[in-house]
Amino acid sequence: MSAKKDNDKTNAMRILESEGIHFIHLNYEAKEFIDGAETADKLRLPHEKVFKTLVTTGADKKNYVFVIPIDEELDLKKCARAVNVKSVEMLHVKDLFRLTGYVRGGCSPIGMKKQFVTVIDSSAQTFSDIYISAGKIGSQLNIAPDDLIRASGAYYGDIVKR
């Protein structure tokens, strides 16, 4: 686990530690939003193992979280089927912090203000470990996909355009 001072820890790291889930914390230099590809490049990580967290609103007015590889795009129809609603649309970025407690570029599927239904793209299962945001810009977590499932209450689904 990361040996960071407690005040440097994010909600996601605190939750993982409290659940005894192993992770590795990585930092990179960034003061404001950079996309996932730039994050992966800064850390010299394989793009296919770096995942981004996207938040949507369903036709039922509930919010849903989807975790997909950085170079992929959500298939909104597949996402709606995965959460059993008529349709979903992307949450407006201006609403992200209010809803999740996280900012664009630092949104983690672990430790949001509320627990939302969360789906992780099934491609994550092909790796022993993946990278996700730690919950702030400039901070990533390396974690086993099944541990992410456990910590976030998520499940796997086919949710990207192929």
Over range 89-114, report the average pLDDT.
Answer: 95
CA 92/CA 71 separation, integer angstroms: 20
Residue 31's pLDDT is 76
Residue 63's beta-bridge partner residues? 57
CA 73/CA 95 separation, integer angstroms: 20
Q: Which helix (H) or strand (E) holds 25?
A: strand 24-27
Range 69-94 burial, b when 16+ CB lie within 10 A, else e: bbebebbbebbbbbbebeebeebeee
Whole-prediction pTM = 0.93
Q: Check pLDDT > 90 for residue 3.
A: no
Over range 55-67, report the average pLDDT.
Answer: 98
Domains of the chain: 27-157 (3.90.960.10)
Over range 2-31, report the average pLDDT.
Answer: 84
Over range 147-160, report the average pLDDT.
Answer: 98
Over range 119-142, report the average pLDDT.
Answer: 96
Which residue has better confidence, 36 or 85? Answer: 85
Over range 112-123, report the average pLDDT.
Answer: 97
CA 43/CA 139 separation, integer angstroms: 10
CA 39/CA 140 separation, integer angstroms: 9
